[in-house]
Chains A and B, each alone.
Chain A
Amino acid sequence: MPAMSARLRWRKLVSGFMLAMTGVCALVAVAALFFILGYLVYHGGTSINWNFFTKLPAPVGESGGGMANAIVGSAKLLLLASVIGVPIGFLGAIYLAEFSTGPIAFVVRYAADLLNGVPSIVIGIFAYAVVVLPFKHFSTLAGGFALGIMMIPITLRSTEDFMRAVPNTLREGAMALGASKWRTIATVIVPAAYRGILTAVLLAFARVAGETAPLLFTSFGNHFWSPGWNQPIESLPHMVYIYAISPYEDWQRQAWAAGLVLLGLILIINILARTILARGVSVPRS
């Protein structure tokens, strides 16, 4: 056997080097996640205490205070968003997966994909024009509306995929037993796809939970409690933004803490959603 030629040795060297570099790229990308998480824990961890969850923000110059109003505000906004986004996404997906094949389905899918790609700040302009202008003031309603609009396409498209993945034999079996179509959907198809549907809803929820841009001129922000649904309201991501760009050290410290709480919440929902999916059967990757 002849010795390896210099040319071949060079090619093998290049191959090994480039493949190692791709590994480095992957490592850098994954390390970014742990870097972000670690930095937030390092800077924000010490500022998270009981006050953070129970007190109102302290006035400038006073230390202490918390973000209770922002936490409640985010919860209210997300509740409203889910009330708007989930039914439209879920029921729309049933229509796409079970009732329609023709051009109408194409138009709905196209509209959803279009909506999914719209930058969040533009959704904010839309909510401003539709809700804030007629009511003449910023409100929880407007912020929830903006986030709800963002939830629709995410919920719709993934739910449809998961329902389509339910084998046709299940539909035929139910029909053969004499069930009407809507009974088939309600008692066979939705239960069979529920893990996927739950995952879709959770991911949509996690996605809008961190959105700041569409809230800037819809829910606006508020240093105090916001009773009802018709006044400006604070939210966690908005608080992170305002505090991070402020010149006060105490506020900056709290921005880290709020960021940590926000990111923790979003990552937990994401992991939960993906765990639910991983345990399921006969559902597509999405």
Chain B
Amino acid sequence: MAATSTTVHGAGPIAGSRSFFDRVRDGDEIARLVTFVFAAATVLVTLLLVFELWQGSVLSRHKFGFGFFFTRVWDPNAGDFGALPFIYGTLVTSVIALAIAVPLGIGAAIFLAELAPARVSDTLQFFIDLLAAVPSVIYGVLGVFIFIPLMREYIQPALSNTLGFIPLFSGPAYGIGFLTAGLVLAIMVIPYIISVSREVLLSVPRDQREAALALGSTRWESTWKVVVPFARTGIMGSIFLALARALGETMAVTMVIGNTPTISASLFSPGYSIAAVIANEFTEATGDLYLQALIELGLVLFLLTFILNGLARILIVATSQRGGGGH
């Protein structure tokens, strides 16, 4: 996984001691220049992306200001655009996803890192990597044809019968909505939590476990009270990484969330997310302000994932360095 790979140290370039003209004659300066241009292209593309998002939303940003984030109205005909229902939907579905994915993912990571023999662990990790490669539109298809009917017929009625006194689990069971979207998202982000947490747990030094066992703790106590706390920051990093994925996820959410800009306490209610509204309305957006409001939503999404990914990286790197930089 490129997102979590750490740089291998100790293999840097060798400083040349030949003169500049020697290097030009050998072609080294040309090779350096050519590769530099391509490396610089990466930076330029990234800068251009930020610039386009910023510049493309200038009308909307000036007209609505910070009120954009606190307004509930989304009325393209009247030219009123507020992002609150979409921000709400994005946050609620992501929180549901994490509530399901975090315990499952960390549990599985503990099994892979602490219990399973190396060969079993590697084989299972191979399948987890494949799971991470399943495209989001496939999760959307499964959501539409399996989760929506399942939620409507069984899970939502059961929840409202038992826990219906809590506003979260009341209301009519449509099948679509926040809860279904959160569930599909959970399955999608579990592989990320498992892969990163497993790496972090494996980098915990062996003597930590041995010391705990020598003091008389059971296998679970050494894992839960010593190894997991040692790897805590890295595991937090994996959760932030998963959160960033969940926030930006488009297709699967669009297909099951219901695409209605509502804010409701009920998790059964249809909703909308930032990514879903961009996906659905971008091609139909008539007028500059409408399009720019959608681009501003894209900017919001970009900033959210930017911050979360940055935090995740810092946390993961900090933990693997503490553990001695791998195993």
Residue positions of A touching B, CB distance < 8 A? 11-12, 14-16, 18-19, 21-26, 28-30, 32-33, 36, 39-40, 43, 87-92, 94-101, 104, 107-108, 111-126, 128-130, 149, 152-154, 156-158, 160-161, 164-168, 171-172, 175, 180-183, 185, 200, 203-204, 206-207, 209-213, 216-217, 220, 237, 240-241, 244-245, 252, 255-256, 259, 262-263, 266-267, 270-271, 274, 284, 286
Contacts and interface: CB of A to CB of B under 8 A. Distances in A.
B5 A168 contact: no
Contacts of B249: 119
A29 B104 contact: yes
A168 B11 contact: yes
List the 8 closest A-B pairs by CB distance, nearest first: A210-B135, A119-B248, A25-B107, A180-B26, A95-B35, A15-B220, A182-B31, A15-B218
B310 to A, nearest CB: 8
B318 to A, nearest CB: 16
B115 interface: yes
Contact of A256 (B52, B112, B141): B141
11 contacts: A11-B221, A25-B107, A30-B131, A32-B190, A39-B146, A99-B32, A116-B2, A125-B53, A182-B31, A245-B144, A286-B1
A262 B5 contact: no
Contacts of B32: 95, 99
Instruction: Assign chain B's interface to a size class.
Output: 35 or more
Nearest to B144: A244
A90 to B, nearest CB: 8
A125 B248 CA distance: 13
A183 to B, nearest CB: 8
Given A30-B127, A244-B141, 18 more contacts: A16-B220, A22-B108, A22-B111, A29-B128, A29-B190, A36-B138, A99-B32, A122-B302, A165-B11, A166-B11, A210-B136, A213-B250, A244-B255, A256-B145, A259-B138, A270-B129, A270-B133, A284-B5
Interface stretch (B12-20, B80-88, B260-268): B12-20
Interface stretch (B37-45, B64-72, B154-162, B229-237): B37-45
A121 B13 contact: no
A14 B5 CA distance: 35
Given A210-B136, A216-B283, A120 B38 contact: no
B34 A241 contact: no
Contacts of A130: 48, 52
A120 B245 CA distance: 10
A129 B48 CA distance: 10
Given A122-B53, A212-B136, A164 B116 contact: no
